[in-house]
Structure 1
């Protein structure tokens, strides 16, 4: 992933920052239009709705632990989004990627759809409503190179608008020991994680106790664990729960509880290589009870 200084412009057609937003990089031909579902009729009247495009339907899961995304492409955004408005319930925003020069073809869109589904699934931030990416469409090499550049623009614009569909949870080599790594080895756990600006990430390969305590069930902590097992983030191996991929928790305590199978204060449970708790390393006050 290339990162470099870029100028991004966000245009508000109605002047309302909560309304439709149009984001573009000043030197690129692709723009992303953020459409609240309630304003979909307004978008369908815009000339952009008649174009070939790539789109992302975004919604929150009922459990609230991971947002959802459906990724698609179409030769007529107006027709396809109108259909989804009637038949798909989960989404509350549509993010539409189109060409400023109106030169995207069906071949572009098909490859971008395949690439986007594969990259979103790899990032693991959103629950995928598509199922799988399907087979890679046949695309000539020059067109693939063009689509890869277009995809990078879409990635940046989505993240700028607040939807980091393709952003990796970790920007460091989390597969090796790192001075910023924290460990949880209480209650038969053997887990590694990193405290980030978004929450606490438990790393792939970490393990914890499979059986949860009665109090963990009583106060609702076990429900998240059950969903992670159902979604394949955690897999049961004997009496252990193994993380099959990196997973972002809202707080260190949520991460520690999922790993240990009991109510936990994550600021105390997660410790660095020197045995210092997260609260001491980060200078965060910790109470004797659970912490967020």
Structure 2
């Protein structure tokens, strides 16, 4: 059953613009997320929540790719001052501080969160970590483990909203992207949810390259076994993504092409088509409906939009 429950997230831009200091909180969650650019660190560490216990992310770039460090502290302000002064961490540009209202997290809690976040980041593999060995989980009671796992689940909702996507798992086991019914009956008290599902393909006859994808639940998922160009050609927005998938083993050599070893959810048809073809391309025009190759993804989406009835004018 598709989860149709919405979540209420409040973002507060402290200095009035989205690239400055930002707080993020979910309704009915004790967690508090505070984002600050390194250039505003002096002001940021004067805030009350900066002195709480919590975990933190240092985000930036190193050697031309995203890079991160995950840590924990009983006093986030003191630890961030140390990182700002460290000569081996000049690469980070943004800090994300995660704490709880009224300073409710203790040392064992934040060590648990740190260990879980490091493990998750390394399993997903989007962003290399500056961390050394993975920290071990501290001994917590069964009740505290349940609380921290619930805390993490909420944190995973907040982080993408503040443009931290290193914990989004886009690769899935081969065959997991199965079609679902176009409509599922809603539970009592919920709104009905429709789900458009369709299968698409790409084919490049000149090099005998074929890829298949499924559009489902708003995601464009290229299926395992699909082929892609061996190397990226030229420049382009999606060149780093192609390189990341090669580096992570999602794209592996098989004969004259690379092959997707897992299903992979792209943010758009254009991103998927570019990785497959190895150069920038208009995805909505390139992907064709599997059941009718004369219909592109753009045509299919236009049909879905045309099927939405216009609201009747008020009489």
Common fold, TM-score beyond 0.5?
Answer: yes
- Any runs of at least 4 consecutive aligned residues in structure 1 with deviations exceeding 6 A, and if so which? 196-199
Bigger Rg, structure 1 or 2:
2
**May I ask how many residue pairs the two structures share in their alignment?**
275
| CA displacement 1:80-112 (0-9 Å, x = unmatched) | 222333432333221111111212122111211
CA–CA distance in structure 1, aligned partners of residues 27 and 90 of structure 2: 34
Contact 1:188–1:208 at 8 Å: present in 2 too? no
Q: Map Cα deviations across residues 33-65 of structure 1 (whole Å, 9 max, x no partner).
A: 11121111112222322222111223357757x
C-alpha RMSD over aligned residues: 3.7
Of 160, 163, 181, 2:199 maps to: 181
Question: Shift in Å at residue 73 of structure 1?
Answer: 1.5
CA distance in structure 2 between the aligned counterparts of 1:227 and 1:28, rounded to whole angstroms: 34
Q: In the alignment, what sits opposite 2:28?
A: 27
Q: Is the 8 A contact 1:199 1:252 kept in 2?
A: no
Q: Which moved more, 1:275-284 or 1:42-51?
A: 275-284
Residues 220 and 265 in structure 2, CA contact (< 8 A), matched pair in contact too: yes
Gapped regions of structure 2 (runs ≥ 5): 181-196, 304-315
Aligned to 1:162: 163
TM-score by length of 2: 0.70
Structure 1: tracts of 5 or more residues without a match: 285-292
8 Å contact from structure 2 (residues 176, 263) kept in 1: no
Q: Which of these residues, 237, 256, 271, is aligned with residue 288 of structure 2?
A: 271
Alignment of 1:204-223 (within 5 A): 204-210=224-230, 217=233, 219-220=234-235
Quote the offset at 1:13 in angstroms: 4.3
CA offset digits 1:242-276 (Å, max 9, x no partner): 22445565653453343244665533432222123
Structure with higher strand content: 2
Give TM-score, length-normalised by structure 1.
0.75
Contact 1:11 1:22 (8 Å CA) reproduced:
yes
Q: Does 1:241 align with 2:243?
A: no
2:189 equivalent in structure 1: none
Does 2:107 correspond to 1:118? no
User: Quick check: 1:155–1:164 contact (8 Å CA) kept in 2?
Assistant: no
